[in-house]
Amino acid sequence: MAIKTLLKKLLNKSGDQPFVADRYWEDRHRFYRGGYKAVGSVELSDAHIQEQTALKQDRIINAIQEEIPNPEGKSLLEAGCGIGLLTPAFCKAGFEVVAVDFSPTAIAEAETRAGDAQFIHASLPNLKLNRTFNVITVIDVLLHITDDDEWQATLKNLARHLAPTGIIVIFEWIGEWRGDLSDHCRMRSMNQYATALTATDLAISKVSQLTLDHEKVTKQILTIRHARD
């Protein structure tokens, strides 16, 4: 049986319950606690996921530092931090980091990796921190917000948390729909992103790609700013 099918059975005991995102992620984080499959592809080894995480971390830090060469003391919101694999790099770069995830198990593990960051248990479409950030990162998260209204609400909400001259860095698998996607994934095209952003005051200012050989996909790195800048 394919690993994805087995995981689906394990995380959805009757096999026909409707998909509930926060329950799925909390169950997955518990099931893979202490390993990397909670956040990486379940078909890859932990070593491969670690390798891929290192590659994406370098590219994301570069994308941020191209725009913000002196991060010391600047604020960064890590939206959907998972088990905190990238959080220590943001702290080390000098950012004051606030990291959010809706899985309490993920947050508990992330706290052990990055004691300097502040962790918040919350869902991104409903997040309300009453403050703004110089940088917001959303790394391998938006694909997993499968409900289109929640996806749009998340983009609007991130816009509200972005400082006037701040940047949002989205790292995501963006492209055409592939029929074999799991319940916890929903592909969107670059056009869908561009259209959704017109409903906020955000606009894409830079795009680059990273091909992850183990996952056999090319992911996009979008740098986004307030459109009025």
Ligand X SMILES: C[S@@+](CC[C@H](N)C(=O)[O-])C[C@H]1O[C@@H](n2cnc3c(N)ncnc32)[C@H](O)[C@@H]1O
Which range of residues in 60-68, 74-82, 198-206, 211-219 is near ligand X by CB under 6 A? Answer: 74-82
Smallest distance from the beta carbon of 162 to ligand X, in angstroms? 17
Which range of residues in 62-70, 79-87, 90-98, 214-222 is near ligand X by CB under 6 A? Answer: 79-87
Please report which residue ranges of 12-98 form alpha helices under DSSP H. Answer: 21-31, 46-67, 87-92
Q: Is 172 in the site for ligand X (CB under 6 A)?
A: no
Radius of gyration of the chain (CA): 17
Which range of residues in 2-10, 60-68, 137-145, 187-195 is near ligand X by CB under 6 A? Answer: 137-145
**Window 25-44: residues binding ligand X (CB under 6 A):** 25, 39
For ligand X, which residue of 52, 75, 103, 152 counts as binding (CB under 6 A)?
103
Nearest in space to 157 (alpha carbons), one of 193, 175, 130: 130
E strand residue ranges, the chain? 75-79, 96-101, 118-121, 133-139, 162-172, 202-212, 217-226
Q: Is 52 in the site for ligand X (CB under 6 A)?
A: no
- Spatial strand order of the sheet with 133-139 comes to 118-121, 96-101, 75-79, 133-139, 162-172, 217-226, 202-212
Q: Is 90 in the site for ligand X (CB under 6 A)?
A: no
- CB-based closest residue to ligand X: 82
Which range of residues in 67-75, 90-98, 141-149, 188-196 is near ligand X by CB under 6 A? Answer: 141-149
Distance CA 216, CA 226 (A): 32
Across 144-179, b (16+ Cβ under 10 Å) vs e yields: bbbeeebbbbbbbbbbebbeeebbbbbbbbbeeeee
Name the amino acid, one letter, at 105.
T
For ligand X, which residue of 106, 162, 168, 196 counts as binding (CB under 6 A)?
106
For ligand X, which residue of 102, 133, 173, 193 counts as binding (CB under 6 A)?
102
Smallest distance from the beta carbon of 28 to ligand X, in angstroms? 8
Q: Is 77 in the site for ligand X (CB under 6 A)?
A: no
Asked if 201 contacts 194 with a C-beta cutoff of 8 angstroms, the reply is no
For ligand X, which residue of 12, 123, 132, 205 counts as binding (CB under 6 A)?
123
Contacts to ligand X by CB under 6 A = 21, 25, 39, 80-82, 85-86, 101-103, 106, 123-124, 139-141, 144-145
